[in-house]
Structure formats: structure tokens, C-alpha cells
Homo-oligomer: A and B are copies of this chain.
Amino acid sequence: MTDPSTILRDHGLSVTAQRLAVLRAVAACPHGTADRIAEMVKSEIGSISKQAVYNALGTLVEKGVIRRIQPAGSPALFENRIGDNHHHLICRTCGKTVDIDCAVGKTPCLHASHHHGFHIEEVEVIYWGTCPECRPQD
């Protein structure tokens, strides 16, 4: 678990209070929205502009420090668990999102049958369902 400032520097980024706080918030709140992250940061360092949150999140995603997922019908979510090819299971009713290990094996867990000449970089898998709390009692 490397020190946040070092993480930023190692990726060629300036170290700012905003970025550090955003990084901490993403770690503390997996699958949080930009809005949620912004609130967490505000309660930690007093204030941050909406734009700085988006900038920080965007840059961190770009540098591979965090990951962005964009489920249908939801604002983007951010998480700091990266590099393990895990997927997500999302409740259609309440939006609860949990991590799911790759169904098949390690890394590139799927191969398209016909790739149409595409160079495939990533496979995104989202499981949609209903969580225990939202399921009507049987």
C-alpha cells in the first residue's frame, strides 16, 4: 500500500490537496459517484469545486490509478481495485454494486468468437439482478 503522494508522483502528476482527498475518498467509498466523492472530499478538506473532482477522477482513470465504470442508467462509478479483471453485479432496484471475480479464470476471461478484425482491449461484464434486500420475501 503505497503512500498516495508517491502514487501521484509516480504517475507524473502534481500533488495537490484535492487529488489526495479524491484518491482517499475513492478508496474509502468503492463504487461511489462523482457526487458522492465530492461530498466526502468536502467533509474532509472543507471544499472542492465540482470541476476539480471531475478533473481528478478523470486524470486518475487516465493514468490507471482508479477505474471508472458506467452502468446503464447510472452516473459513473469509481473504484480503486484495479488490475484484477473483476466484474460487477448491480441491483436493478437499488443500484447496489458489488465486485465479482472473473467467472472463467484469470485475466482476459473471454474471447470473442468472431472479432471482425477488431483489436480487443478489454471485456466489460455487468451482471444485472436483484439484491437480497430488494427481493420480495418468498
**Interface set of A (CB-CB < 8 Å, partner B):** 68-70, 72-73, 76, 87, 89, 91-92, 98, 100-104, 110-132, 135
Q: Are B130 and A116 in contact (CB under 8 A)?
A: no
Expressed in whole angstroms, the Cα–Cα distance for A91 and B119 within the complex equals 9
Q: Are B119 and A110 in contact (CB under 8 A)?
A: no
Q: Are A112 and B135 in contact (CB under 8 A)?
A: no
Say how far A103's CB is from chain B's closest CB, in angstroms: 5
Please give the count of copies of this chain that the complex contains. 2
Also in contact, A110 and B118, with CB within 8 A (given A70-B73, A128-B123): no
**Cross-chain contact of A130 among B102, B121, B132 (Cβ < 8 A):** B121
Expressed in whole angstroms, the Cα–Cα distance for A104 and B110 within the complex equals 8
